[in-house]
Structure 1
Amino acid sequence: MKISLELAAKRYTQALLDENAALFAGAGLSIPSGFVSWSNLLRELADELGVEVSLCPDLPTLAQYHVNETGNRGGINQVLVEEFVRQTSETESHRLIAKMPIRTIWTTNYDRLIEQAIENSGKIVEINRRPEDLTSTVRNREAIVYKMHGDMTELHRGVLTRDDFEQYDRERGLFRSALEGDLVQKTFLFAGFSFDDPNINFVLSRTRVALGQSQREHFYLLRSVARGDFTVEKYGSDEACEKEFGYAQALQDLRVRDLSRYGIRTVLLDDYGQVEEFFRMVERRYKRNSVFISGAAVEHGSYEEREAREFIGHLSGGLVGKGFRVINGYGLGVGPAVVSGVLERAKLDRRKLDRCLLSRPFPIFAKKEERERKNEDNRREMIEAAGIAIFVFGTKTDPKGKVIPSPGVEREYELARSYGIPCIAIGCTGGMSQKLSKEIVAVLKKPAADDEPESIAALRRANVLEKIHSLNVEGADLKAVVSDVIEIVEKLRDCE
């Protein structure tokens, strides 16, 4: 059964938020990095056998033929070594995967691109190459990669020939058992995979028979057959091209419908460049569930300190109640109220605190130069993790004791815009937020520019100008402001 790119991204994002998303990466995910497809990899061996590789789509059998003819797998091992010892870099898709909280990753690939990307993102990754690796656990791991067909460090043990697949249950059967469990409990995204692998088909069949119509929903990214794939040079005439194209389309449609038996819904892509687009959509949607609250307050405009504190607590707690995670740097006069509001609502809803709050308090006792560097690092870390930013109050005192708009809040606004994050400034609270709100409203009132930044374009898509403008009214009722801000944030979360 087919599903749109947008709907698949929305549902997979929800699996990420529920902490039960998994990825299955095939060879197609590594090809943009410079690795060849399996058919091209075995082309030389096929030529040696006097066989056209395109006429033998069963590649494990082709590899087995070579072992049969030569009496060993030395030739296959050499081809693998020459391919996988090359230095390659991960793609943007790998980097996006690494940044997202996908804790379970399965792959039939020998390369280390996924592990490399995860390590480069600063995460701790556990790699299971052999069945015995499954018995140990890497402390504080943030992702697990299961290499069910082996690894480039042990190519001679890689699963490739028909013999390897026939002996798989005896040699590596624990991988099958672990995969069966994950397919039952997690929502998988299959990317760069062809479903020609006997092991995967065996596992899918077992889970289908065991669960019947109760299987979990999974997603599959597949490039749609295109007319341009069929050229006169290869097929001889336009008529022959049309005929082959029709056959290929019919076969693909049959495959898509057949995969639905296993709970797998297919996203047909126009080209493989949309794989990266999919991961970007998921990343954007995931981050839109995290709201950065920026603010500092040594005075509170037209409001009493108690009113301001309660307002911030109700706002942060209200966001948590709607399923958002709140991110905050514990700014003076704002941070404690944010944390208090989050804690109170998290306790009420019995939610884990780490799913409701990310806080990076600014250093107070560090030397000036070090403090400024750490402030900037903290700001970037928090804003990179957010998908929406809210600005409240924004005042501080200068060295002479005069109250001025906070330059730190303004810096956080600049960073949020540079990351394409839609910003909501609550102008009625005064300070820097008032200045920022007027700036945002002024831009939104103008016609959209061709090169408009995403931070503004997102606000236009959500159609929230009127609500944002209402936040500027001096002395506005703060309970109504909380309601309006949460409504804006929910629209931004749901609007792509």
Structure 2
Amino acid sequence: MLEKAILKELKNNNLAVFAGAGLSRGSGFVDWKELLRDIADELELDVDKEMDLVSVAQYHYNANGRQTINEAIIEEFQRTSEKNKNMDILSRLPINTYWTTNYDSIIEDTLSSVKKVTDVKISQSQMKNYKPDRDAVVYKMHGDKEFPDETVITRDDYERYDSDRRMFTTQLKGELISKTFLFIGFSFEDPNLEQILSRIRVELLGKSPKNHYCFFRKVNQSDERYKNSDGSFNEEEFKYDKVKQDLKVKDLKRYGINSVLIDEYVEITRILENIEKKFKINKVFISGSAKEYGKYSNEEAKNLLHNLSKSLISRNHHVISGFGLGVGSYVINGSLEEIFNNKNKRTNDYLTLRPFPQNESGGKTLKELWTEYRKDMINDAGVMLFLFGNKESDGKTVEANGMIEEFQIAKELNKFIIPIGSTGYATEKIFNEVKKDLKKYWYLKESINILEVEKDESRIIDEIHKIFEKIRRSL
């Protein structure tokens, strides 16, 4: 249910992410409880016994002012973060809206690392601004580590929220009604969000709310908290927490929030990886270049490339082309023919053209730029199709080493790889390596002979579609 719903919203560019402290923990940052541990100690309180952490922060403010709290935020969140697997996956998906109560910069830093233009909203005054060509908006509804004095953490801050940050509330209400949210690392203990969700439910007057999804780790008997000092199992506390979690899950349904219960947090990464693979399985990067076509006549090669691309588009694949010599133009023609013959298909939804840069820039050599460019293109695809692979050098036809590099990148990024070995050259070299490891490339096992020797375009195309179907069934 979760994966199907998320894939649908991704396709419609209508998925938003709401990140809580649990997401940032994956990068080595503390959650709210750990942030306030020393502060609670100063008050002679045990933070592990406190459920109302907003009040803990307020008690400290009442006694000592804001400075110690600000210093704790600066100290904990200015450290260099570790790589965040979940955020890495999210950054590679077409998600243009992020909300967070976190003070760190994991979201915007990760988005920037994949060259997405990010419009970050920290204060109410920024809500009216629009960053040109932005790919994503990050709403930091509780502020940012760079401005600790303005973060939302004490009871006073929450009570003033509607006057100091009303625009965040208004924006979030609208998006919770129109978009599907995926909550990650969020405990739903935040009073702001609870109030906003309640208002939406009341304003909808009993109508079905938009479906949203969140992850919860199941209450687990093996957790240390259920061990008594003598090592015995504290069944009473376990049952209490289990009942409380069940009630929480049912209560969230009132707001349209569907809970996905997991045994361990690592399952979130696996679920996100699977969603990414399923989403990108329809995105096919066709790697190829050819000064000559070897065993294929010019007409046979042209027809194979043209009709393969056309067939992929007809089955709702998205074709990505680097405009390789002797290959790219036929790929484009076949793709466009199918797109133009179907009034419901738009070019941008089915075809991406990425001609390689031809001049050095940014202090990088052309080779460095091409490698970076290849990684970017391949990262956007789920499947790599390899055909032919030669070029002219010093008047001779040689292997296209760029395709070998693309193969290496595809392996590193764990892409599905389909080399049509019968087309020869670099693709034949790639095919031979793949053939030696059919345990890894299991989806090619039944098709390996056809890929190796077949020249009939219709049989090759049919076999490629069979491979796609096998991959889909496995996900």
Q: Is the shorter-chain TM-score for this pair beyond 0.5, marking a shared fold?
A: yes
> How many Å apart are 1:392 and its aligned residue?
2.1
Residue in 2 that maps onto 1:359 = 353
Q: Contact 2:211–2:257 at 8 Å: present in 1 too?
A: yes
Q: 2:445 aligns with which of 465, 472, 486?
A: 465
Change (3 A) 1:374 1:111: closer
Confirm whether residue 416 of structure 1 aligns to residue 410 of structure 2: yes
Confirm whether residue 77 of structure 1 aligns to residue 70 of structure 2: yes
Q: 2:243 aligns with which of 250, 272, 283?
A: 250
Change (3 A) 1:363 1:179: closer
More helix by proportion, 1 or 2? Answer: 1
1:410-453 CA distance string (max 9 Å, x none): 44334323432222122344444455445544543xxx3xxx4x
Confirm whether residue 226 of structure 1 aligns to residue 220 of structure 2: yes
Give the Cα–Cα distance (whole angstroms) in 2 for the partners of residues 110 and 475 of structure 1: 58
Deviates more, 1:198-207 or 1:415-424: 415-424
Change (3 A) 1:54 1:286: same
Unpaired runs of 5+ residues, structure 1, are: 1-6
Within a 5 Å distance, the mapping from 1:2-81 to structure 2 comes to: 8-69=2-63, 72-81=65-74
TM-score relative to the length of structure 1: 0.84
Give the Cα–Cα distance (whole angstroms) in 2 for the partners of residues 35 and 374 of structure 1: 34
Q: 1:378 aligns with which of 353, 368, 373?
A: 373
Q: 2:119 aligns with which of 117, 126, 130?
A: 126
Percent identity, please. Answer: 38
TM-score relative to the length of structure 2: 0.88
Which amino acid in structure 2 is aligned with residue 492 of structure 1?
I
> How many Å apart are 1:31 and its aligned residue?
2.3
1:342-382 CA distance string (max 9 Å, x none): 2233332444433322333245688xx95544444433332
Q: Contact 1:297–1:396 at 8 Å: present in 2 too?
A: yes
> Tell me, what secondary structure is at the counterpart of 1:64?
helix
Unpaired runs of 5+ residues, structure 2, are: none
Deviates more, 1:273-282 or 1:108-117: 273-282
Residue in 1 that maps onto 2:383 = 388
Q: 2:156 aligns with which of 157, 163, 166?
A: 163
Change (3 A) 1:341 1:272: same
> How many Å apart are 1:51 and its aligned residue?
3.2
> How many Å apart are 1:291 and its aligned residue?
0.9
> How many Å apart are 1:162 and its aligned residue?
2.3
> How many Å apart are 1:108 and its aligned residue?
0.5
> Tell me, what secondary structure is at the counterpart of 2:99?
strand
Give the Cα–Cα distance (whole angstroms) in 2 for the partners of residues 375 and 45 of structure 1: 51
Which amino acid in structure 2 is aligned with residue 163 of structure 1?
D
Q: 1:116 aligns with which of 106, 109, 114?
A: 109
Q: Contact 2:389–2:399 at 8 Å: present in 1 too?
A: yes
Within a 5 Å distance, the mapping from 1:161-240 to structure 2 comes to: 161-211=154-204, 212=206, 214-231=208-225, 238-239=232-233
Which amino acid in structure 2 is aligned with residue 469 of structure 1?
N
The number of equivalent residue pairs is: 471
Give the Cα–Cα distance (whole angstroms) in 1 for the partners of residues 370 and 62 of structure 2: 65
Confirm whether residue 310 of structure 1 aligns to residue 290 of structure 2: no
Q: Contact 2:111–2:118 at 8 Å: present in 1 too?
A: yes
Within a 5 Å distance, the mapping from 1:333-352 to structure 2 comes to: 333-347=326-340, 348-352=342-346
> Tell me, what secondary structure is at the counterpart of 2:247?
helix
1:239-275 CA distance string (max 9 Å, x none): 5x12111111121122122222222222222222333
Q: Contact 1:295–1:392 at 8 Å: present in 2 too?
A: yes
Give the Cα–Cα distance (whole angstroms) in 1 for the partners of residues 235 and 72 of structure 2: 36
> How many Å apart are 1:196 and its aligned residue?
0.6
Q: Contact 1:21–1:102 at 8 Å: present in 2 too?
A: yes
Give the Cα–Cα distance (whole angstroms) in 1 for the partners of residues 432 and 277 of structure 2: 26
Q: Contact 1:90–1:114 at 8 Å: present in 2 too?
A: no
Give the Cα–Cα distance (whole angstroms) in 1 for the partners of residues 165 and 52 of structure 2: 21
Q: Contact 2:226–2:237 at 8 Å: present in 1 too?
A: no
